[in-house]
Structure formats: structure tokens, C-alpha cells
A and B are shown apart, each in its own frame.
Chain A
Amino acid sequence: MEKILLKNLGNPDAHKIDHYVKGGGYKALDAALKLQPDNIIQMVKDSGLRGRGGAGFSTGLKWSFIPKDPAIPKYLCCNADEGEPGTFKDRGIMDWDPHLLIEGMLIASRAFGAARSYVYIRGEFVFGAKRIQAAIDEAYAKGFLGKNIMGTGFNHDMYVHRGFGAYICGEETALLESIEGYRAQPRKKPPFPALAGLYGKPTVINNVETLSCIPAIIERGPKWFSSMGPEKSPGPKIYGVSGHVKRPGLYELPMGTTIRDLIFNHCGGMRSDKSLKAVIPGGVSAPMLTAKDLDTPMDFDSLAAKGTMLGSGAVIVMDESTCIVKMSYIINRFFSHESCGKCTPCRDGTPWITKALRRLENGEGRPGDTGLLESLCTNIFGRTFCPLGDGAVMALRGALKNFREEFLYHERHKRCAV
């Protein structure tokens, strides 16, 4: 398949603007500037593009919620806080093709009338932040950013905002709090950011991969985009594969590629040719699947039908030597560490889960610990302010559903069955 998002992965010159323009870059912006803004929104709606950050909401529809009044300032925030464990896809775009993202952001901003945008990039991505900043500087110098872009009267300023180590900033309202200089704790919704977002103004928050799909949709048309992959979740998708496979890495494939095809064809199969025990299809919040689910197409709806989710497209593969109790401990330790502290079920519940899992993993499990975990899941799920607590529960429930015996073995025998 022709690559759209990762065509420049590993190309040492592709991040420079001359290279990008030579390859047809900023032509989509030129075309978009000649369209009525509402037509751009309609094209993105027609393409069927759904948000690649995890929620899978229609991108065009999200843009259409922004009020049309030109007197109200509007913002675009690019969510580049990539923090879901297992996820490293947005880095593949930002490090190697920063202008693709910038062009996508400019077209989006034109569509709903944002004069200012921020790229919210996680603090650890120093290389990526420098790449994006350098590309922004180049775009200003060439007249693609700033005043009167390409002579059309469209003005736009773009800035990099660096995070500094908080997973919760990937939650869109926490991200806004963080840009405003507060502790990144999620806001109450409604009002949704489309009406009251950054600085109380209408704001769209889109993921890096989502925005990077936009130039191709404008250039080649919505039909071309929607013809790729399943009807209800079309387009190219970056799958980031890690863990026990021969060739981990980023793979841009049509949405709906099966897990089996991804692991055994593209990634060369299992490392050391051991058998597959479990696979997490969309970052650690997504419930794990097992070998019987390998023929599931990896798109929003097919994975939801299996009780899990596409999430960020981060595929974590575990072979037969993996202890699921230990992995569950590692996953939940992460969630308790990253809980922002705002609401009680998450703030107190996730460390409680972690403590019980640590006991089980260290051979100090108490009778009833497995049942305790199940009861904690019930008392956290659906009762937290934002999806972080739900993510912790979904991960653990997936493990308990498929590997309950392993938890009980740890509880009874004070050691691992693997």
C-alpha cells in the first residue's frame, strides 16, 4: 500500500521544508484556501475520518460544532501528548514529517476559523519538539504561517507547548488546563471544548495522526480516503507493534488489517517462535485478546464488538512465557502513578488495585485477593471523572476475563504458574 503518513520514516532530509514542498507539500493548503471553509468540513465529514487518538469520533463532525461567528476567537490544539503505554506512532510523524502535521493543522484551522494553534507535545519528546519548532520557523519564513498566508488574507500563528510528564494531559480538557498553566486535572463536560475550550473559547483538540490525514483528503478527495478499509472506519492507520514479535515497529496499513496479518506477516511472527498468549490491541487501556481472536480486523467497530478497542493502535504482543499477573501489576502501577488526584475512585482505587496486584505478584497474596480486584473494578468503573480510571479497570478486567486461573494460582500457591 502507498504510504501517506509514514512515507518519510527514516528519511534524513524529509523534515526540511524544501524537501516537503518539492514532494508536493503545501499544495493541499493552497487548494483548501481556495475552498469555502464549510466545504473543507464537508470533505472531511465525507471522508469518514475518525479521530486516531482513541475515541474514534468523526473529525468533520467535531469541526462542525465550532460556532461560525467570526468575531469569536477560536483555537486548535494538536494532542501530541502520546503517553498511552505501547504507543509511539505520533512520534513517527513528528520526528520525520513535521510539515505534514503543520499543513494538516493549517487546513483544519482554516476550516473552522482558528487564528492560533498549539502543538501540545509530551515533555520527554525533546527531539520531536525541536523538529516541530524548526518546521514552524521554516513555515513562517516561507509564508505558510503568519499574516496573509499565500496572499489569501488568512492569518494563523502556531506554537509548541511542551508538557512535562503527566499522562493525564492526553485527556483533552486536562490538556487545556495544562496550557493555561494549571495542574492538569480534567474539566467538567459540558460545556464541551467546541463551545468553551482554551481560555474559554471554542476549541478543537485533534490527535497528530488525525490531523496528518487531512492534506491527503483535500488533495485526493474524500472518496479516495473512504475507499480504504472498512466502510465505517476508513483510511490508513498506523499500528505500533511492540513486545514479543520478530520485527517491532510502526506499520502503516489500511484500517481493518487483522491482528494475525499484522503480527505474522508484517512483523515476521513471534520472537523465538514461541506461541502467542495475549495481545493488547490499542494501548494498555484496551482489554487484552488471546490467540482465538487473531482474525479480528483492527478497526474501531470490529474491536469494540470483541469487547476491546482500537485505542491508539498500539499493539502489545505477549508470548507464552509472560505472566499476566505481573503485566497487570505493571499496567495498574502506571495508572495509579498517573491518576491526577481529582476524584476519589481513581485516586484511591487505582493504588488499591496496584497494592493487591503487587502482593499477588510477590507471592504474598491473601485469600480473596482475586475477588477483591473484581470488586474494586466494579467500584471504579463508570464512577470516575474522566476515562483514566475506566482505562485501568478495562485493562484489568480483560486480564481477569481471559486469565482468571492465573490470578487464583498466584493467590493460592504464592507463586507464578508460568
Chain B
Amino acid sequence: MPLESVKEEITEALRKYPNKRSAVMDVLRIAERAAGGHVTKEAMDEIARLLEMRPVEVNSAATFYTMYSVARPVGRHRIWVCRNISCSLLGAEHIIAHLERALGVKTGETTPDKKFTLDVAECLGSCGTSPMMQIDDDYYENLTEAKIDEILKGLK
């Protein structure tokens, strides 16, 4: 039972809605974290049982929303670099190239030590402080190459 350890969080999520299905996004997020960053097939099957949905409906929701990593293991830290218009005007391409060099991976890949997964994002809503990136839950803004090196060094 992959979700046994997060039962309380799931109960809390269910409390917010008049029906069980509405909690599917919250529960997928809880399951993703419990599995170390990605949504497994086993977790989706269990979510289907819990929320009285068909497994394909859970999969359908999980694959629609791009922040879930469905059946794709990721590193301990997920990096999303914004590459949309405002960040692009202020050098997002150089930021992405610098991260690829610093981590030794291409966009979409995970470092061999499983520490970082590097992804790009289409506008993270931080356009006044561009260029920027998100690592896990946090925003890092007004980026420079030197600042990126410091940030990466600071992450365990």
C-alpha cells in the first residue's frame, strides 16, 4: 500500500470537497511526493480505489497536468527554467545553456547521481524578476550565471 504513510494528508484533502473525485489532484500530488517525486502506476491504481474512480480516469487527470511526473523518476531536486517571452527577452537561453553545462545534462534529463532533473517551463508568473527558475517549491529570480552556481552549491 504505497499511500499508507500519507493517509492523514489524504483525509484532509477529501474534507475540502463534496465528492471524492475532486480530491484527485491533491492526492496525486501527495502520492508523487511520497514516492520521491514521481507518480507510479501502483499509486494511481490505489488512488482509483480510494476515490472510487476507474484507473484510466486517474491516469487521464495525471497526464493532463504537466507538473506531475507520471512514471518518470526524477532527481531529488526538480529544476524548471522559464523560457517564455519575458525571461527570453532577458536571456533565458543563456540560463538554460549554463545549467546544462553546470549539471552536465540536457534539458529533460536527470544527473547520474540522481540529484537534479532539469526541465524547462512556459512562464512561471515571475516576469518582473526575469530571468528566473523554480527549484522544487521555491522561485529563484533575477538570475545570473554566478547566482545559479551559488544556488546549486547550496542544495543538498
Contact = CB atoms under 8 A, between A and B. Distances in A.
Contacts of B89: 242-244, 316, 318, 322, 327
Contact of B21 (A126, A180, A249): A180
A398 interface: no
A123 B22 contact: no
Given A91-B125, A164-B25, A316-B127, A123 B86 contact: no
Interface stretch (A47-55, A56-64, A333-341): A333-341
Contact of B67 (A124, A127, A248, A322): A124
B23 interface: yes
A159 B127 contact: no
A127 B61 contact: no
A333 B127 contact: no
A161 B128 contact: no
Interface residues of A, number: 53
A231 B37 CA distance: 51
B128 A166 contact: no
B122 A242 contact: no
Given A88-B128, A166-B65, A199-B18, A83 B123 contact: yes
A334 B84 CA distance: 7
Interface in B84-112: 84-86, 88-90
A330 B61 CA distance: 27
Highest count of chain B CB atoms <10 Å: which of A84, A159, A243, A337: A243
Interface stretch (B1-9, B129-137, B143-151): B129-137
A85 B86 contact: yes
Given A86-B85, A180-B22, A330-B85, A250 B122 contact: no
A91 B132 CA distance: 15
A344 to B, nearest CB: 18
A337 B122 contact: yes
B84 A330 contact: yes
Given A164-B67, A184-B64, A248-B129, A126 B137 contact: yes
Given A87-B127, A318-B89, A330-B88, A178 B122 contact: no
Mostly, the B contact residues are: mixed
A248 B127 contact: yes
Nearest to A326: B88
Nearest to A314: B127
A124 B66 CA distance: 11
Nearest to B65: A164
B85 A164 contact: no
Highest count of chain B CB atoms <10 Å: which of A125, A164, A165, A241: A164
Given A85-B86, A164-B65, A124 B124 contact: yes
A82 B126 CA distance: 10
B76 interface: no
A164 B31 CA distance: 14
Contacts of A124: 67, 80, 121, 124-125, 134
A182 B59 CA distance: 10
B83 A123 contact: no
13 contacts: A83-B123, A85-B122, A88-B127, A123-B29, A123-B65, A124-B80, A161-B26, A163-B25, A164-B65, A165-B67, A241-B128, A242-B89, A334-B123
The 6 closest A-B pairs by CB, nearest first: A165-B67, A242-B127, A181-B21, A242-B86, A164-B65, A165-B66
Interface of A: 82-88, 91, 122-127, 159, 161-167, 178-184, 199, 240-244, 248-250, 280, 284, 314, 316, 318, 322, 326-327, 330-331, 333-334, 337-338, 340
Interface of B: 16-19, 21-26, 28-29, 51, 53, 60-61, 64-68, 80, 83-86, 88-90, 121-130, 134, 137-139
